[in-house]
Structures are given as C-alpha cells and as structure tokens.
C-alpha cells in the first residue's frame, strides 16, 4: 500500500510492501560538487533530511523523478548509506531547510536488485 506524505515541504510516496520511496525535484543542484568539495563530481540531487531519515529507517530504495530530465533515477539504500558515511553532503537551502545532496552519478536509470531488496 502506498502512503503519501509531505516532509519539510517535499512530497513523497512510500510503499511499505515494495520498500520504495519516490519524490520529485525540478532540477539537479548543478554546483553541488564545487560547493561540497567532491572530487570529480559536479551535479547532485537534493532531498531533505527527514526523507533521508525515513529511507534509512525503512531500508527503502529511493526513486527521484527529475522534472528537467523527464526521467526517474534510482538509488539503493546501501549505496546511500555508504555515501553519507564517507562524504560531505549537508546543504542549507535559502529557505532554511537542510538537505542531503547526493551525486547524480550515484543514481541509476533502473532499479538494481540486491539481496537487500529481496
């Protein structure tokens, strides 16, 4: 069953049976790599901390629909955890919301299956 939430102004859909959390953003954070000090990485996709917390708590796969690209991007929870553990990712928006910015190249164009999702 899919449940819908608004967390810090960002709409999400979460299916507890499939462990998939979906949200939409207008466009990537194109200067993320420069601002956050990532080597060789430029654009990032931002999700607010409350969404990240729900992802980690439920061990869900994240799907972000990027409007300007007209496409879904997928990220398994284990890959997200690894990135958050070893990289700078916090960014405070002009509206005062703290988001986790994840490199766009960490996402895939299709769901990756793993033992974790089985």
In angstroms, the CA 97 to CA 116 distance is 30
- Write down the pLDDT at residue 113: 52
This prediction has a pTM of: 0.84
Axis crossing angle, helix 49-58 with helix 77-86, rounded to the nearest 10? 120
Residue range 23-41: average pLDDT?
82
pLDDT(118) > 50: no
In angstroms, the CA 39 to CA 53 distance is 26
Which tokens in the block code for residue 104?
């766009």
Which tokens in the block code for residue 59?
């061990």
């Amino acid at each position: 069953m899919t449940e819908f939430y608004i967390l810090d102004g960002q709409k999400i859909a979460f299916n507890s049976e499939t462990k998939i959390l979906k949200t939409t953003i207008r466009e990537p954070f194109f200067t993320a790599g420069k601002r956050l000090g990532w080597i060789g990485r430029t654009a990032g996709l931002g999700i607010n901390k409350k969404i990240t917390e729900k992802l980690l708590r439920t061990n869900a796969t994240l799907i972000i629909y990027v409007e300007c690209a007209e496409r879904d991007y997928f990220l398994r929870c284990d890959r997200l955890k690894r990135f958050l553990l070893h990289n700078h990712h916090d960014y405070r928006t002009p509206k005062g919301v703290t988001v986790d910015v994840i490199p766009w190249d960490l996402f895939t164009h299709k769901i990756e299956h793993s033992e974790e999702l089985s």
